[in-house]
Structure 1
């Protein structure tokens, strides 16, 4: 009988230990959010010897209802440079990669749908990025874009980016960005 009791206790302890080690998640205290303000310039080259914009699809509409140089339904791939300043030789801090879709249709003002991933390649946020998905009314002087996520030090980011065209011509568009994000730098709770 004594052997059975010892064996029973060993079995109970073994099962309790196995059960505790088989969890696929853990719980921890929630991390405090951080607020970060960023200021940088996006440098785009729609033309010239090294363009950062490429048309990848165009609508098959036979008539352009707006007589626009950027007709409704056109999709562009973007790989723009992010710099500290407006000068073309200012410090490079990353790039903005993504897509723009011309969504100005009948009876609407010119607008594009943007998806950008602002990926940082130097400084405090090296290896991190901020994701923007927003409508961009191109005739507005200053546009507010929605920050919908991020990775690295910008994990679970949300916020907004104010975009203002600093200068523009046929070969270069420079936009000033002021970005405000709430994010979590540590481990994810999910």
Structure 2
């Protein structure tokens, strides 16, 4: 009996609420996105397959160079004009059975010199090699590079 009374008292105390009056104070402001600055990057990736010290090595697929299904690991040099500005490390796979060579690339671009030193870009994209102008999807980047985009 005593337990029932204690239990009832605890139940009543925990369910009893005291109304409180308060005001919500807050300032409303309109969201203003940061002003973006456009940056054009133009550099060359040097992929060397057939020398004593290649920068791209076939790790899977048919024996034919860049045949459909060939997978390569890369550690290439990036240049801007004659200057070395970084490296490209990752892999690509030949993904086209037609005449036009197309690669699927997963590459990290690390900048070790120049304006973007210490920055990086991560690329995961389709690369239609035979087209003279192409764009690749950048899926990530290092903090130093992102700072450069904002004014």
Runs of 4+ in 1 over 4 A off after TM superposition: 182-185
Partner residue in 2 for 1:165:
none
Larger relative contact order (CA 8 Å, sep ≥ 6): 1
Superposed CA RMSD in Å reads 2.9
Taking the aligned partners of 1:112 and 1:144, their CA distance within structure 2 comes to 13
Is 1:96 aligned to 2:88, yes or no?
A: yes
Secondary structure of 1:123's aligned partner: coil
TM-score, normalized by length of structure 1?
A: 0.54
SS at match of 2:40: strand
- State whether structure 2 residue 37 is matched by structure 1 residue 34: yes
Tell me, in whole angstroms, the C-alpha distance in 1 between the residues paired with 2:44 and 2:129: 17
Which protein is bigger by CA-based radius of gyration?
2
Shift of 1:30: 5.7
User: More strand per residue: 1 or 2?
Assistant: 1
Gaps of 5+ in 1: 1-28, 157-181, 186-190
Does 2:145 match 1:142? no
Equivalent residue in structure 2 for 1:72, among 68, 72, 89: 68
How many aligned positions are there?
Answer: 121
Are residues 69 and 92 of structure 1, via their aligned partners in 2, closer, same or farther at CA, if it must alter by over 3 Å? closer
Structure 2-normalised TM-score? Answer: 0.66
